[in-house]
Amino acid sequence: MAVYTHLSADDLSSLIAHYDVGELVSAKGIAEGVSNSNWLIETTGSDAARKNGGGARYILTMYEFRIEMRDLPFFLGLLDLLADKGCPVPRTIHDRDGASWRKIGDKAVALIEFLPGVSIDRPQPEQARSVGKALAEIHLAAADYDSRRNEMGLASWQELTDQCGPEGLAQIDPALPAIVKDALAYLTANWPAGLPQGVCHADLFPDNVLMLGDRVSGLIDFYFACTDFFAYDLAVTHAAWCFADHGRTFRPEISTALMAGYESVRPLSEAERAALPILARGAAMRFIATRAYDWLNTPADALVTRKDPMDFARRLQFYAEQGAKAFAGV
């Protein structure tokens, strides 16, 4: 579960009083997620909402790990920009002084719009098509976002796996040290340059997409968003959506639909298409690196379920063997 910090009813009511959202009606901790504490908040609604007879629902997020306060303006400003452009992302609620985040004690919190929908465990092709389309739409919509950041590139995969060390990686799986060493050497020697770039979500897994039927009703969890190659973001999404059974089974029909959905909005250049196989190997390496680090550094009594790096070692091997065929379509 992911509520790491206890907030009393008084803490919550006095926080909510800083926003024009009415009074607190209820607050429930949300079990999903591992990085932040999240609550579903119900209020009586803003003055305007109350006049229309409605209360309101919000997500309150307390930033616990990995997220630096200095990055919050990048993430929260991006949500506001994308929401203004009509993308299905939650708007941040600004307090009465206009701030998009506040502090409770030494931790930052933000109140964001609640979006309807459910996250899908086993996507169907039409759903993957919608996700591809939504990803391309955010790439285009954020074209004029003028902030930049990227702290989860190749250098950080090297750093994270160095911190695990060969012995640590071998504790996870005896084959992992060699897999990581070979992958990083290959990626470092061959990583592309000069591809079109801009704002990327960079973590668009099924649990970060809310859907109503085949429609994307919400893209959430932008806390790895960064400035990178658009095609890398597509490769991350491909790696996250197109496999079943912990990376053992590739689902070509999902790949075809995801790619077609993306290209229906933003066709890839020849150079981007040619780079997809290496970008996907990079994407797999990125999740091996963070998962391995978390695997070795999550205390045994933590309430979160660790994610297995080997799920992405299998994808890495698949992309290395299949090359362009992984994206060719069925």
Ligand X SMILES: Nc1ncnc2c1ncn2[C@@H]1O[C@H](COP(=O)(O)OP(=O)(O)OP(=O)(O)O)[C@@H](O)[C@H]1O
As a whole number of angstroms, the distance between CA 109 and CA 12 comes to 11
Closer residue to ligand X, CB minimum distance, 250 or 293? 293
- Verify binding: residue 127, ligand X, rule CB under 6 A: no
Q: Which of residues 13-32 bind ligand X (CB under 6 A)?
A: 30, 32
**d(C-alpha 55, C-alpha 294), whole Å:** 39
Stretch that binds ligand X, among 145-153, 165-173, 213-221, 320-328 (CB under 6 A): 213-221
Which of 198, 290, 314, 316: binder of ligand HSE (CB under 6 A)? 290
Please identify, using beta-carbon distances, which residue of 149 and 307 lies nearer to ligand HSE.
307
What element of type H or E holds 249? strand 249-250
**Contact of 42 with 25, CB cutoff 8 Å:** yes
Q: What is the DSSP string of 156-221?
A: HHHHHHHHHHHHHHHHH-TTHHHHHHHHHHHHHHH---S--EEEE-----GGGEEEETTEEEEE--
Q: Which does 218 bind (CB under 5 to 8 A by kind): ligand X, ligand HSE, none?
A: ligand X
Interacting partner of 287 out of ligand X, ligand HSE, none (Cβ under 5 to 8 A depending on kind): ligand HSE
Measure the CA–CA gap between 251 and 272, rounded to whole angstroms.
Answer: 22
| Residue whose structure tokens are 């950041």 | 149
Query: How far is it, in rounded angstroms, from Cα 108 to Cα 95?
Result: 13
Piece in contact with ligand HSE (CB under 6 A), picked from 68-76, 110-118, 258-266, 283-291: 283-291
Residue 203 CB, nearest distance to ligand HSE (Å)?
Answer: 5
Residue 301 is classified by DSSP as: T
32 binds, among ligand HSE, ligand X, none (CB under 5 to 8 A by kind): ligand X
**In the complex, least distance from residue 190 CB atom to ligand X, rounded to whole angstroms:** 29
- The window from 11-19, 54-62, 286-294, 295-303 that contacts ligand HSE (CB under 6 A) reads 286-294
Q: Which residues pair with 244 in a beta bridge?
A: 249
Q: The dihedral of CA 160, 209, 50, 99: what is its sign? A: positive
Which residue type is seen at 291? R
2 binds ligand X (CB under 6 A): yes
CB of 306 to ligand X, least distance (A): 12
With CB under 6 A, what is the number of residues at the site for ligand X? 20
Residues with Cβ within 8 Å of residue 325, at least 6 apart in sequence: none
The reply on whether position 237 binds ligand HSE by CB under 6 A is: no
User: Residue 269 CB: number of other CB atoms within 10 A?
Assistant: 12
Label the pairing between strands 92-93 and 107-113: antiparallel
Q: Which residues of 104-123 are buried (b: 16+ CB within 10 A; e: fewer)?
A: eeeebbbbbbbbebeebeeb
Instruction: Give the nearest residue (CB) to ligand HSE.
Output: 205
Q: Is 205 in the site for ligand HSE (CB under 6 A)?
A: yes
Q: Which does 36 bind (CB under 5 to 8 A by kind): ligand HSE, ligand X, none?
A: ligand X
We find the least distance from the C-beta atom of residue 71 to ligand HSE, in angstroms, to be 15
Binding residue (CB under 6 A) for ligand HSE from 63, 243, 287, 295 = 287
Q: Please work out the total of residues on this chain that contact ligand HSE, with binding judged by CB under 6 A.
A: 7
Regarding 35 and contact with ligand X (CB under 6 A), the answer is yes
Beta-ladder partners of 99: none
Q: Does 221 bind ligand X (CB under 6 A)?
A: yes
Interacting residues with ligand HSE (CB under 6 A): 203, 205, 224, 287, 290-291, 307
Interacting residues with ligand X (CB under 6 A): 2, 30, 32-36, 38, 59, 90, 112-115, 207-208, 218, 220-221, 223
